[in-house]
Chains A and B, each alone.
Chain A
């Protein structure tokens, strides 16, 4: 508005100035002319400044229309539900066809472990997993993973807090968690590439090693991936037991390294060590021809693990095709006392010194040859090593048998959230037992999007 008035005034002035002069010599007129000239330059300056302002405003307007400010985020619903943790559920189930009686499963030359063997025959519901995760406050986050077992029990698989703002890039974790030991151990069973755990994990860690205690992890602030970690815990899970003392029952230390080789390859390697103690660790040795025997071990158990994983994906894009090789070698050294009790045979109970140095390994490869479809092969072997049963020796067979297993699987993954798997295996766990196994498995993930570890 102001601009248009100014323009009109200026136009009037121009018309005025354009008038021919009648009396050029009159000093009064000269004076008036001077005044008008002053006025004119004055107005020109003002018009120029107004034009500039108009131009600026126009530029601003176009800039604003080119970059509309994002609409303000909707205010969060004023409800306590807004702070609910992220919830996810994993549903699993399987069908198993086993040629040998799973209750007679034992690893020849190895003391019985917590969860070994191929599981039960026929249809079964796998462990359903219920996970909740949220930041607690500005310092801590919490994670609960409960496992609902098919026999209607609820067990706490993991329940831990993480101190997120710890200094020096350390990540302290406390509560119950899967140990950082090895490669497979930290992953949840539904993320494994095969239906069951490698024999070495079954023999030495009872399937998977969880700990109640504290863990500290630290990643080195350099371009090469180096991760160090240590744990102290109750050591109550296999191969340890509750030892009724104030100090920690188990210690773990691990180191991981990893990196890329070109665009298409990546790797991770690690070394881990676990020391734990057992006080009357009980297990049942299925009798082959005779009665079952109850065993109890008291002593120290040391486990060392070397793991290596190599992944390939063309240009680092695993979507269409990818290949993964992974292998782990586990050693275990145990020293202590062993009680042998063939409960049904009168008087057959004996306690004696026991020591063993044993090993085991697996190597597996999984190839995705087209989107959604993968095929995998695995070989497992245990080395009974040297075992000294001392006075118990007559109750145990020779220990030169190598338990082994050959496994193949095919799985179909229609989306990130569902997977179907068929697995066949031939297992030779102890002398005289060959088990041909077929598994069909489904894994369904509901709810919050959980990212998968490398």
Chain B
């Protein structure tokens, strides 16, 4: 009996530190998964709940997500109700007290950024509106930089033993990121003032950052499928105010974009939207390299 107990104790002792060797992070979308990897290196184990070809508004609370949330130390979400259709159900069913909203193990990226596009009228007749503002902050590279600091602080808070490691990685990331932003801004200079159409209002931050101009959206209301009536209206707008290209995220169907591109003679441009959305968007740096390349190609 004593032998069995001591064996058990040894097993437990071997298992417990192994389970806590790395901070287990549950990232809702690929961009925050990539950022946590940049900041946490090999001290974090990152699980990304969605891929770039999934619509982050509409994800099913699948059993696999619940299982991963169950043992996570930290949830990194976009927030601003982007994941409202599935994340509350996942965290609630996983019953992991560490990652409930309000607990130290719950982080929202939008808490580090001031949001634009807060709806004036809060009414479902306006479509799938986000009451706290537009949550698609990751399309502006400067926002990624803004989230990096607080996110790194969160890693330090949860794993203070590795604080110098996280701080060094944050510094290295910030240096590389500021240099990259300068490079992107310079490269994207020709995009200033370029008029564009978007399929879903998902690129507000990108368009603001690079100084482009949004002429119209193909969705009549956010989250509402484009209708032929509305597309005809957009076509009419485009005849008066021509645009250069129509933008859609990799996860969206291409039919509305193609329809308008053919009729209004626009370039249909697919943007990765997040890490993994295109072959070029392998990491956060690739995401913006590829986004700007595609925009420049679309504008030419």
User: B63 to A256, Cβ gap below 8 A?
Assistant: yes
**By the criterion CB–CB under 8 Å, are A454 and B114 in contact?**
no
A window 361-386: CB within 8 A of B: 371-372
A284 at the interface (CB under 8 A from B): no
Interface residue A259 (Cβ < 8 Å from any Cβ of B): yes
**List of B residues within 8 angstroms of A343 by Cβ:** none
Contact between B64 and A315, CB atoms less than 8 A apart = no
A66 within 8 A of B: yes
Interface string of A157-192 (1 = CB under 8 A from B): 000000011100111000000000000000000000
Please encode chain A, from 410 to 454, with 1 for each CB lying within 8 Å of some chain B CB and 0 for all others: 000011110000000000000000000000000000100101111
Interface string of B101-121 (1 = CB under 8 A from A): 000000000011110000000
**Interface residue A34 (Cβ < 8 Å from any Cβ of B):** no
Chain B: residues with Cβ within 8 Å of the partner, total of 46
Q: Which residues of the partner chain A approach B53 to less than 8 Å between Cβ atoms?
A: 263, 315-317
Task: Tell me if B62 is interfacial: C-beta within 8 Å of chain A.
Answer: yes
Query: Which of chain A's residues has its CB closest to B47's CB?
Result: A223
- Given contacts A219-B66, A320-B253, A451-B89, whether A416 and B60 have CB atoms under 8 Å apart is no
CB under 8 Å from chain A, chain B span 252-298: 252-253
Question: What 1/0 mask marks residues of chain B from 158 to 199 whose CB sits below 8 Å from any chain A CB?
Answer: 000000000000000000000000000000000000000000
| B111 contacts across to A, CB distance below 8 A | 70
Q: Are B64 and A219 in contact (CB under 8 A)?
A: no
Is A266's CB within 8 Å of the partner chain B? yes
| Given A225-B66, A451-B86, also A219-B253 (CB < 8 A) | no
Candidates B61, B70, B142; contact of A454 at CB < 8 Å: B61
Output the least CB separation between B214 and chain A (Å): 22
CB of A247 closer than 8 Å to a CB of B: no
The reply on B225 being an interface residue by CB < 8 A is yes
> Cβ of B54 and Cβ of A315 under 8 Å apart?
yes
- Which B residues between 225 and 257 are near A, CB-CB below 8 angstroms? 225, 251-253
A284 to B69, CA, bound (A): 49
Does B97 sit within 8 A of A, measured CB to CB?
A: yes
Decide if the interface of chain B is mainly helix, strand, loop or mixed.
loop
Q: Is the CB of B124 within 8 A of A317?
A: no
Binary CB contact string for chain A from 48 to 85 against chain B (1 if under 8 A, 0 otherwise)? 00000000000000000011101100000000000000
Contact between chains at B70 and A221 (CB < 8 Å) = yes
Please measure, in the bound complex, the distance between the C-alpha atom of A68 and the C-alpha atom of B140, giving whole angstroms: 14
* A417 & B124 in contact (Cβ 8 Å cutoff): yes
Residues A317 and B54 in contact in the complex (CB < 8 Å), given A71-B114, A217-B95, A449-B85: yes
A220 touching B149 by the CB < 8 A rule? no
Q: Which residues from chain A contact B94 at a C-beta distance below 8 Å?
A: 169, 219
- Chain B residue at smallest Cβ distance from A266: B62
Mask for A88-115, Cβ within 8 A of B = 1, else 0?
0000000000000000000000000000
A–B Cβ pairs within 8 angstroms, 23 of them: A67-B149, A164-B97, A164-B100, A219-B93, A220-B67, A224-B67, A225-B63, A225-B66, A225-B67, A227-B66, A256-B63, A259-B67, A266-B62, A266-B64, A267-B63, A311-B60, A316-B51, A317-B55, A317-B58, A319-B251, A415-B223, A451-B84, A451-B85
